Structure 1
Amino acid sequence: MLFNSLDFAIFFPVIFVLYWLVTSNLTLRNILILAASYVFYGWWDWRFLFLIAISTLVDFYVGKQIYNTENATKRKQLLFVSLFVNLGFLVYFKYTNFFIETFVDSFRLFGRELEVSTLNIILPVGISFYTFQTLSYTIDIYRKQLKPTNDLLAFGAFVSFFPQLVAGPIERASHLLPQFYKTYKFNYKLVKSGLLLMAFGLFKKMVIADRAALYVNEVYNNVDDYGGVGYLYATVLFAFQIYCDFSAYSDIAIGLGRTMGFDLMKNFDSPYISKSLTEFWRRWHISLSTWFRDYLYIPLGGSKKGKYRTYANIFIVFVVSGFWHGAAMTFIIWGAIHGVILMIEKGSFKIRKRVFKKLGLQKNNFSNHLFFSLIIFTIVCFAWVFFRANSLNDSYQIIHGLFNDINLGEIFKKETYLVGFKPNEFRVVSIAILLLFIFEHFHRKLNVVKMLNNEATIFRWSCYLTIVLSIVVFGIYGDRNIQEFIYFQF
């Protein structure tokens, strides 16, 4: 079920009313959440509900056994069971065909053709997200950082919690699971805040991301028909598309949880104003970045085993991150690019500090901030080419066009920037992106929402209605079809 669908527009009010009718009874409330979550996920394909159910049961019982066992060998064996089941599902559904294709291609390099066909496997929506969420539970118990729950119902609701089930934020049991043991009283301000965040998320998704997708899809799906300027526009627009699409899902999930009294972690923090790639990854997909930090980077040794081992650990984490995003070499290269730049940043820190000091670039003023932000944005966009391209050949062609085929005379031609767009759609996307940056800039410093609450009622509600009307006019009626969230495929 999509947040931006008519189905969800009916589903949410029904669940919202039922939830607040039964919320004083913890058992009934958690039954409702579990049932609603399974309906929400099963609306896409009910057959894959068994994956969530098996992961839930395995990790619930394995977690209890690990906690009650002092024998180190047995604890490792039990942890292996959890890893094998969860990662086994993930590897089979997401990576089987990739391994088959890689195996065949490796023989082709030596002039041998293998008659091996890929399997007809459907990738379950959001499997990477809920797999990581439930895995963190058993790993934390194994590390003796968390006590297991005895409440299977609450644990099942935690694993399948529908607001963030299929695209995050990836929650830790230590933060989210205890919230299923609490009763909540209806709080008008909290519900209103959640609804506003959901509306803001829908605005980013339907007005910006889905509009930008029209141009991006046209160019990236037909690379032979376009040149360097088209690639440039499409790549920059994709940067905003994926940010607005993914952060929109997180906003809606957090807002939806908030209307029910739940607190979900912040997942994005204005990443495109980052002055370094290290800062970018502290602001982008925070729940995944911290997951890889805690469950891969630190276990590999982190930064405690010498600088060369640190560089290797950074590179490994980002290559794995790329592979997590998709079973294709383009995603692995995307991760490797980020890994290499981060290694360079870390290795050249002292040199850069001295050079920047001499050039006067260390001052925390607007011009310096803008300068470094534009550099990081350019690097991120370069890597996005591999993330979005349909194949390695397409990505190489786009990169070649960006460096060798930029005709400045084409930049302001309508036939260049209106590809896939109607004139009004181009204006809407441009204005909406500008307003988004202005809002995020001021919101970080002044908290625009609190300021808005202090304004006159007519002004405040005019702002709310403007957002809603924009979603209706440019999102619902302006769209050619309902666009899935990009991260559903991961």
Structure 2
Amino acid sequence: MLFNSLEFFVFLPIVFVLYWFVTARNLKIQNLLIAIASYVFYGWWDWRFLSLIAFSSIVDYTTGVLLEKTEKESKRKILLWISICVNLGFLGFFKYYNFFVESLVDSFTLLGRPLSINTLNIILPVGISFYTFQTLSYTIDVYKKKLEPTKDFIAFTAFVSFFPQLVAGPIERATNLLPQFYKKRTFSYALAVDGMRQVLWGLFKKVVIADNCAKYANIIFNNYEDYSGSTLLLGAFFFAFQIYGDFSGYSDIAIGISRLFGFNLKRNFAFPYFSRDIAEFWRRWHMSLSTWFRDYLYIPLGGSRGGLKMKIRNTFAIFLVSGFWHGANWTFIVWGGLNALYFLPLMLTNKNRVNTDLVAQGKLFPNVKEVFQMLMTFFITLIAWVFFRADNVAQAFSYVKNMFLESFFSMPEVWPSTVLLLVAFFIVVEWIGRSGEFAIENIDRLNKPFRWAAYILLIILMFSYTGEQQEFIYFQF
């Protein structure tokens, strides 16, 4: 069930009415409604995969209960590893089995010893990477005694399957979201209005920016050998705004819908394309995943506390694993490695924490240095996005090579003026609203006529320039 589908526009009001007008007096019934609604939402794609999320919930709930009862460290480690193996086992089988088989066969073929191992016709469960990491963080935090295990299975099930963020994040920590299921929620008009405002902006990002950019990104990437270098650069530009509008749009909608039900989710994007270096970019892009890898992989490996070799190892580890998390393709691993190479000089020179403030703080325009820094960071990010988008590594290298031919300075063969104007409008709105959590968060400061004029403008643009409906990119992860 897509957020921008007719089915969801019927589903959401029904759940909202039942939640606030039928079950509001009983917290457990209210949580049960969320769990049931979430399973309906998830099962809309394929009901067979409900068994996976249910089994994962049972395993991690039981593990948490047993961890509280067990003081012996060896038994606690066994329980932790059972949870890790079950969760990563499901993820590895459904997402990576065919990748490992194909890579193994290719390796032995190169050595002159071809293997005969068949791949499987496996359907990847939607959002498995997201809810797997969410449940894992619960078990790990309970094991480390950073979190008291829950005794409320309904609340835990609702936490794992919470439908607004179930299939594409943000990846919530149990320390933030789970306690919210224990407390009685009361309807807040101000919170609901703010949530609807964020939903509106998220829908604009998705249907106007992402889906329109996707059309031209697909045309250029699918026929990259026929286009000039300038057109290939434009194709990478369109994909950059496709993936940003698509993924951050989903996060905005998820956070906004959660507020309608009295929940607060963590922020997932903070205007990453206004970053002045790659370290700042990664503090602003997919923040829930970046902090997950920081807390559960980078720091346990030693972080940046060790010597030079350890720092380099840990930096590559977190970026390569992050790349592999995104998909079973060498392109994602190369994308992760390329970002590690971007990041490494900043870390080794202790400049990875230079730009922690808001760019052009208190100013309407950035200075020349900031403009140059943002353009350079955006450009190297575009190069990395080519590997993320390409079908294979060979195509990605060929795309980048062709981009830098003499035709790089020619006029692009593809020039959709309307889409470029929409992207320019989007950039201006994001820049003006960059001090808020999302671009139009502070629109309530405008006088009522201007505020409603802005809402109506966004709605008109959505109805006038809705691109061909595309599934959210991160559903495949």
Pairwise TM-score range, normalised by the shorter structure: over 0.9
Structure 1 residue 352: deviation in Å? 13
- Cα shift at 1:270: 0.6
Question: 1:328-382 CA distances to partner (integer Å, 9 max, x unpaired)?
Answer: 11000000011122112212347999xxxxxxxxxx9621111111111111111
Say whether residues 1:241 and 2:239 are aligned partners.
no
SS of residue in 2 equivalent to 1:410: coil
Deviations 1:43-86 (CA, angstroms, capped at 9, x unpaired): 00000001100010000010111122111110000001100110
The corresponding residue for 1:4 is 4
CA contact (8 A) 1:37 1:162 kept: yes
Give the corresponding residue for 1:466.
Answer: 457
The alpha carbon displacement at 1:433 in A equals 2.0
Secondary structure of residue in 2 paired with 1:183: coil
Give the secondary structure class of the aligned counterpart of 1:416: coil
Query: Per-residue deviation at 1:453?
Result: 2.3
Q: Give, in whole Å, the separation in 2 of the partners of 1:112 and 1:161.
A: 48
Equivalent position SS for 2:28 = helix
What does 1:368-407 correspond to in 2, within 5 Å?
Answer: 368-407=369-408
Question: Using a 3 Å threshold, how does the CA distance of structure 1 residues 463 and 99 change in structure 2: closer, same or farther?
Answer: same
CA apart distance, 1:437: 2.1
- Correspondence 1:432 to 2:422: yes
Distance, in Å, in 1 between the alignment partners of 2:44 and 2:441 is 37
Deviations 1:370-405 (CA, angstroms, capped at 9, x unpaired):
111111111111111100001122112101101225
Q: Does the Cα contact within 8 Å between 1:220 and 1:390 map onto a contact in 2?
A: no
Match of 1:119 in 2: 120
| Residues 229 and 416, structure 1, Cα contact 8 Å, conserved in 2 | no
Classify the secondary structure of the residue corresponding to 1:115: coil
Write the deviation string for residues 287-323 of structure 1: whole angstroms up to 9, x where unpaired.
Answer: 0000000000011011122232012101111000000
More divergent stretch after superposition (444-453 vs 46-55): 444-453
Q: Percent identity?
A: 52
Q: Separation in 1 of the partners of 2:406 and 2:298?
A: 40
Maintained 8 Å contact 1:272/1:377 = yes
Pair 1:351–1:99, CA change in 2 (3 A): closer
Aligned-pair Cα RMSD in Å? 1.9
* Partner of residue 167, structure 2: 166
Question: 1:89-488 to 2 correspondence within 5 Å?
Answer: 89-349=90-350, 366-411=367-412, 415-418=413-416, 426-427=417-418, 429-445=419-435, 449=440, 452-475=443-466, 479-480=467-468, 482-488=469-475
What is the SS of the residue equivalent to 2:283?
helix
Contact 2:228 2:410 in 1 (8 A): no
SS of the counterpart of 1:103?
Answer: helix
Q: Distance in 2 between matches of 1:329 and 1:282?
A: 24
What are the Cα deviations for residues 193-234 of structure 1, in whole angstroms up to 9, with x where unaligned? 111110100000000000000001112123333232221110
Which ranges of 4 or more aligned residues in structure 1 deviate by more than 6 Å?
A: 350-353
Unaligned runs of 5+ in 1: 354-363, 419-425
TM score, norm. by length of structure 1: 0.92
1:432 Cα deviation from its structure 2 partner = 2.5
The Cα offsets for residues 152-183 of structure 1, whole Å up to 9 and x where unpaired, read as 00000000000000000000001000111112
- Quick one: distance in 2 between partners of 1:385 and 1:449? 30
- Give the conservation status (yes or no) of the 8 Å contact 1:24–1:184: no
Q: What count of residue pairs does the alignment treat as equivalent?
A: 465
Determine if contact 2:198/2:440 at 8 Å carries over to the other structure. Answer: no
Change (3 A) 1:365 1:436: closer
CA distance in structure 2 between the partners assigned to 1:365 and 1:452 by the alignment: 22
C-alpha separation between the residues in 1 aligned to 2:288 and 2:106? 35
In 2, Cα distance between equivalents of 1:196 and 1:51: 34
**1 or 2, which has the higher helix percentage?**
1
Helix, strand or coil at the partner of 1:148? coil
| Equivalent residue, structure 1, for 2:362 | none
**Contact (CA 8 Å) 2:155, 2:181: kept in 1 or not?**
yes
Q: CA deviation at 1:25?
A: 1.1
Note if contact 2:108-2:114 (Cα within 8 Å) is conserved in structure 1: yes
Whether the 8 Å contact between 1:221 and 1:390 is mirrored in structure 2 is: no
| Unaligned segments of structure 2, at least 5 residues | 355-364
Q: Using the alignment, how far apart are the partners of 1:350 and 1:156 within structure 2?
A: 42
SS at match of 1:119: coil
Choose 182-191 or 145-154, whichever is displaced more: 182-191
Cα deviation code 1:429-468 (max 9, x no counterpart): 2223222222222223478756532433222212111111
Give how far 1:407 is off. Answer: 4.5
Secondary structure of 2:212's counterpart equals: helix
Rate the CA distance shift 1:54–1:351 in 2: closer, same or farther, 3 A: closer
- The answer to whether the Cα contact below 8 Å between 1:229 and 1:405 also exists between their aligned partners in 2 is no
**Aligned mates of 1:298, 1:53 — CA distance in 2:** 30
